[in-house]
Amino acid sequence: MLAVQILIDGFAISALYGLGAVGFTLMFGVSGVLNLAHGATMVVAAVTAWVVAGQYAANPWVAAIAGTAAGVITAFATYYLVVRPIQRSRSVPAAEKEIFVLTGTLLWGIMIQEAVAYFYTDNPKTVQPLIAGVMQIGGVRTPINELLIAVICWTVIGLLWLLVNRSKAGKVLLAASINPRALTLLGFELSQVYLQVWAIYGVLAGIAGVLLATFLGASSAQASQLTASAFSIVVLGGLGSVSGSLLAAYVVGYLETLTAYLISPAYRTVPALILLVVVIYVRPHGLLGRR
Amino acid sequence: MTDTLRGLLGSRQVWIALVLAAALVTLPWMVSAYILGILTIAYYFGVFAMSWDLLFGFANEVNFGPTFLIGCGAYAAGLLNAHGAPVWACLIAGGAAALLGGVVLAVPALRLSGPYFGLATLVAVLLLQQFIVIFASTTGGEIGLTMNDILSTEPITNYWYALGFMTASGLVLFTLSRSPVGLILQASGQDRIGASALGFNIVKHKLAAFCISAVFSGLAGAMLVFYLGTASVGTVVDVAVGVQVIIAAVLGGRRTILGAAIGSIFLILAGEALRPLGQLSTFVVSGIALLVILFFADGLMGLLLHRRGDT
Amino acid sequence: MLDARGSAAAAAAPLLAVQGLTKRYGGLVAAKDITFQIGAGEILGLIGPNGSGKSTVMQVIMGIQRPNAGAVRVRGVDVAGWPSHRIAQQGVGIVFQHSRPLHRQTVLENIMLGLLPDKLLKLVADRHVRERARAIAERVGLGGVLDRKPGTLPFADLRRMELAKAIARDPKVVLIDEPFAGLTASEMDSFARLVADFRADGRAVLLVDHNVKSLAALADRVFAMYLGERIAEGTAEEVTRDPTVRRVYLGGGIDVAKRPPRAAGDAPILQVENVSVLYGKAQALEGVSLHVHQGESVSVVGLNGAGKTTLFNAISGLVPYNGRIVWNGEELHGRSAAAIARSGIVQCPETRELFGDLDVRENLDLAGQHLPAPEASRQLEWLYLLFPRLRDRERQIARTMSGGEQQMLAIARSLMMRPKLLILDEPTLGLAPVILEQISNALEQLRSTTSITVLLGEQNVTFALPHADRIYVLDHARIVWEGEPSCFAAEAAATYL
């Protein structure tokens, strides 16, 4: 029974990690930005959902949509207020733009985190499960919400796959991650491509944040931990590789679940960290990364 | 010797720093013990930031986990002290432990390029943190380790120690940055291939820079915990502390060494000054730092020097 | 009086001896079995077009790349595979093609760097270091700017500083990459004298450049490369007269087939007026003017570094410029590169810029996204007729294709956008003759079946001439000749090689 429990819990948490990580790696692959305000973006989505559900007594689905919208707005704010000004700045030498964007998004993330804590405290916020109730799977009582999370995550990932591989706009995004200069030569405005990426990122991070709130709860204090997790998973899978992120999310998710159940919840993050160290030294471009 | 001395005296930065140091020396007669305490912490922070700037500003390596080195130094000193060793021995041990940790981290990490080096340093911090938490029986875990000794019970004495240490460290690090060693480091950081073609072993020099950064960080970390009286994850290891170090250095003005100290003092004083805002203080300080980064890429020192290809 | 040119070289063992040097990058053989020697007080010129392998050879000698086979002996010691800094310590200095100063340091400090030993604990420089740095600076002509930062110096002085850095360690072997690129005529003279002084010092000097002309006065001997292999060796005159070299650069006999007359439009659809481009300090284009009529095929001929790519990038809106560029009556200044591409000027760049991880069809489909679906499929069909090989390899990943196939894909992708003006930058670079013919035929078909205007940039004159209604010759950032292909052989060819 423990095995089934681990299997199910691990699957759900990995799916959630996967959704967050996919957004993060897509952002890096297409626009080269490592958004360190990632966790904060998820938290904003989670807290917005909580506020809408609580203060406006809306049903959880409406709250979820509100939360996702908040994620998109936060993403655009990050782009227009922080990332774009730095990328266009003439006082920052080109070679240092990356570290400035990193520091800038880091600071911006802290600002968001503190603002959320100020208005809503840093207590964990939970949102009612989207679908209440439990069901029996292999003799284990599992909240239906947990399964729903896995379903939603994979559906969204599936839609993303369809978008990138089957739609015209998606192909342009894919091409941008391979060779942005070539896109310009073919008459595509890169600025529009980047806008699209930030929008998609906002949706992904928003949904991930809302689902997290229904599952484990989210608090502003977790923002940096969420960013760090996404970052590690993405590096493990290979910076810029979406399938790599998914694979790594499952590796990390199951490692954590196994450790929590079999050893102790306090050591949850250790095996994944050790794996990350090994990967960085042995295969820095990650499990499925290029080069 | 005269060249380096001439270089030092001719630099506007040094004069700014000396004026500032002179002002800081007079403070014990002008402000309360509470403020002196804040500044004491700020000075140790200044050493953290200056060490970071040596590595970033000169060797061009971004260390995302400066608290790995700081933490190694702090906890080594703390653990040794828990076994009864005298303060001076613990301080030396702290510096040595950080040096050892630095070498163990840097030798493989310097082989990595781009974001992966930074990542390795970040992971080192996370691992150290986990390590301390897991072996809580020895290290005090999340609660922390209480020191058997402290530097002094007098705020003014502690203030002198910190100011003296920061000034001495600043002098050493700045002189290094202006010396032939610093020149080679800058070349290694700015242009790897060009520096190699001029006959310099890049890896050797970057490793040396890492070691210097480690020794100063570790020493400062050790001194800090002897001031605070406890060594805890939250004050010397947490990633958030490391982030503050980086922000202080960038805010103060990267590649200036002395700017990093100014940035730290500013950051900590600003945090303190905005305390009445309660929870919003961090928000405002981060906001100011973000604005500085967006509009004054060369930081506070850059503003002071009216940077135009000047130093 | 020692005649440095002859007897010193004959008497002593060679300072630099390269033997059987081979370097592969994956499947591409960049340099194959290269062997040559340079004695003390000798200057060897290493020439070849882009892709010939000359830069690879130089990088391997300096340790920036490791060879797959062969030996590199510096004063008798085999340094092949050593790291750069050890080779530098062994006595090899290099002047890179692009200046790489330390921007935050003064000129004096930049040169002093070259004099510092590789020691960790040098807190104080030796007393004589500053004096020596000053002396070296005086020697190369930088005595007056010692306390200035590189950002304030003109281009030629930056190049002088590179020379100074290279000889700081008093190397026995000096490698210089494109010594005269970006210099004015008078600057070239003073640089040539500096290089000759190196020879007089008794050093072995390797000059790497594109063509013989620029090195002829300086080099004692010339070694010519093409596609990674040695094609000729000897004095400058001997190499210039060598038939293989002539074929590579000029294509042997230049006979121009009679072209069918074209009814060209009256007013030019593209007008470039007095355009200048600065890359940092280097003058990449200077006062260039040209025009192209509707339906014309115009070739811009010039060697590497002449400015062809810069010119095309200015037209395509990829680099800032001074001057006017008018397309269909409208000024292009200020429009984004993507907008210019959509307005009908499509560039197929020298680097091809394919989407390497996508297959042929996906590359073409992306280009056709702006067209309505039925038009896009018609265009695709037509392109497959033009380049049948692409149809066969429709699902092959672009980066796994051969150079020739990639070039065809790049051209087809540009054509997919139905351009009014197609800019082709060096389509034949590094390609085997058999592929050249196929591309040549495709261009001919283009010309006879469509009304497309073509602007072709080439260093391979044999390829360019038959496809051109008019020719411009670009040399060192300026247009130096304009005329019809039939006149080229008589008037321009002599100065070209």
* Least Cα separation, residue C370 to chain A (angstroms): 8
pLDDT of residue C68: 94
B190 reaches C (C-beta below 8 A): yes
Cα-Cα end-to-end distance for chain C: 35
Which residues does residue C21 pair with via DSSP β-bridges, in sequence order? C34
C-alpha distances in Å from residue C206, one per residue of B252, C54, C77? 47, 11, 18
Q: Between β-strands C28-38 and C42-47, what pairing exists: parallel, antiparallel or unpaired?
A: unpaired
> pLDDT tens digits for B84-124?
888 889 999 999 999 999 999 888 888 777 677 877 888 88
Say if residues B94 and B40 touch (Cβ distance below 8 Å). no
Q: Is the pLDDT higher at C296 or at B140?
A: C296
> pLDDT tens digits for C175-228?
999 888 777 778 888 999 999 999 999 999 999 987 777 788 899 999 999 888
> pLDDT tens digits for A124-141?
888 888 788 888 877 788
Please report residues of B whose CB lies closer than 8 A to that of A239. Answer: 115
Taking 50 as the threshold, does the pLDDT of residue B10 lie above it?
yes
Q: What does the block give as tokens for A276?
A: 């990350």
- Cross-chain residue pair B297–A91, CB shorter than 8 Å: yes
- Cross-chain residue pair B181–C121, CB shorter than 8 Å: yes
Residue type, C165: K
**pLDDT tens by residue, chain A, 291 residues:** 788 888 888 899 899 999 999 999 999 889 989 899 999 999 999 999 999 988 887 788 899 999 999 999 999 999 999 999 999 888 787 777 888 888 889 889 989 998 999 888 888 888 888 788 888 877 788 888 888 899 999 999 999 989 988 899 999 999 998 999 999 999 999 999 999 999 999 999 999 999 999 888 888 888 887 888 888 898 888 887 888 999 999 999 999 888 888 888 877 778 888 888 888 778 877 788 764
pLDDT of residue B7: 62
Q: Who's near A160: CB < 8 A, 6+ residues apart?
A: A22, A26, A200, A204, A242
Find the CB nearest A111 among B112, B122, B283.
B283
- Cross-chain residue pair B286–A110, CB shorter than 8 Å: yes
Find the CB nearest C116 among B1, B184, B201.
B184
Alpha carbon of residue B238 to chain centroid = 14
pLDDT of residue C495: 63
In a domain, A287, yes or no: no
Q: Which domain holds residue B278?
A: 9-305
Strand, helix or coil at B226? Answer: helix
- Cross-chain residue pair C104–B204, CB shorter than 8 Å: no
Q: What is the mean pLDDT of residues B227-237?
A: 89
Residue B245: pLDDT band with limits 50, 70, 90: very high
Distance CA C265, CA C262 (A): 9
Query: 3-state SS of A1-70?
Result: CHHHHHHHHHHHHHHHHHHHHHHHHHHHHHHCCCCCCHHHHHHHHHHHHHHHHHHCCCCHHHHHHHHHHH
In a domain, A289, yes or no: no
pLDDT of residue C9: 46
pLDDT of residue C86: 94
Say if residues C321 and C285 touch (Cβ distance below 8 Å). yes
Distance CA B231, CA B47 (A): 18
Which residues does residue C479 pair with via DSSP β-bridges, in sequence order? C474
In a domain, A86, yes or no: yes
CA angle C154/C160/C165 to nearest 5° reads: 130
* Least Cα separation, residue B128 to chain C (angstroms): 29
Distance CA A85, CA A72 (A): 19
Name the percent of chain C lying above pLDDT 70: 92
pLDDT of residue C8: 47
CATH hierarchy code of domain C7-249 = 3.40.50.300
Distance CA C63, CA C90 (A): 11
Distance CA A46, CA B225 (A): 38
Which regions of chain C are under pLDDT 70?
1-12, 122-123, 125, 249-265, 493-497
**CATH code for the domain in which residue B240 is found:** 1.10.3470
Q: Between β-strands C77-78 and C69-74, what pairing exists: parallel, antiparallel or unpaired?
A: antiparallel
What's the CATH class of domain C268-496?
alpha beta
pLDDT of residue B303: 80
Say if residues A291 and A283 touch (Cβ distance below 8 Å). no
pTM of the model: 0.83
Q: What is the DSSP letter of C370?
A: G
* Least Cα separation, residue A243 to chain C (angstroms): 15
Taking 80 as the threshold, does the pLDDT of residue B191 lie above it?
yes
In a domain, A108, yes or no: yes
B206 reaches C (C-beta below 8 A): no
Q: Is the pLDDT higher at C299 or at B141?
A: C299
pLDDT of residue A181: 93
Q: What is the mean pLDDT of residues B63-89?
A: 90
Q: What does the block give as tokens for C448?
A: 């006879």
Q: What does the block give as tokens for C201?
A: 């010092």
Instruction: Report, in angstroms and rounded to the nearest whole number, the Rg of chain B calculated over CA atoms.
Output: 19
pLDDT of residue C2: 45
Say if residues C203 and C171 touch (Cβ distance below 8 Å). yes
- Look at chain B and report how many structural domains it folds into: 1
B33 reaches A (C-beta below 8 A): no
A167 reaches C (C-beta below 8 A): no
pLDDT of residue B57: 78
In a domain, B4, yes or no: no
Question: What stretch of H or E contains C152?
Answer: none
Q: How would you class B84 by CB atoms within 10 Å of its CB: exposed for 0-12, middle for 13-18, buried for 19 or more?
A: exposed
CA angle B292/B296/B298 to nearest 5° reads: 110
Between the CA atoms of A221, A224, A229 and A234, what dihedral angle is there, to the nearest 10 degrees?
150
> pLDDT tens digits for B257-291?
889 999 999 989 888 888 888 778 888 888 888 88
DSSP A236-282: HH-TT-HHHHHHHHHHHHHHHHHHHHHT-GGGTTHHHHHHHHHHHHH
- Cross-chain residue pair B196–C100, CB shorter than 8 Å: no
pLDDT of residue B2: 56
In a domain, A290, yes or no: no
pLDDT of residue C260: 56
> pLDDT tens digits for B287-306?
888 888 888 888 888 887 76
Distance CA C71, CA C35 (A): 9
ipTM of this complex? 0.84
Say if residues C240 and C247 touch (Cβ distance below 8 Å). no
Q: Is the pLDDT higher at C226 or at B217?
A: B217
Q: What is the mean pLDDT of residues B198-226?
A: 92
pLDDT of residue C259: 56
- Which residue in A183, A184, A241 has the most chain C C-beta atoms within 10 A of its own C-beta, making it the best mutation to test that interface? A184
CA angle B182/B188/B191 to nearest 5° reads: 130
Please report residues of B whose CB lies closer than 8 A to that of C93. Answer: 197
Say if residues B163 and B24 touch (Cβ distance below 8 Å). yes
- Which residue in B193, B198, B207 has the most chain C C-beta atoms within 10 A of its own C-beta, making it the best mutation to test that interface? B198
In a domain, B3, yes or no: no
Distance CA B28, CA B43 (A): 14
Average pLDDT, chain B: 86
Say if residues B53 and B255 touch (Cβ distance below 8 Å). yes
Distance CA C229, CA B67 (A): 54
Q: Which residue has the tokens 């977790």?
A: A222
**Could you tell me where in chain C the CATH 3.40.50.300 domains are found?**
7-249, 268-496
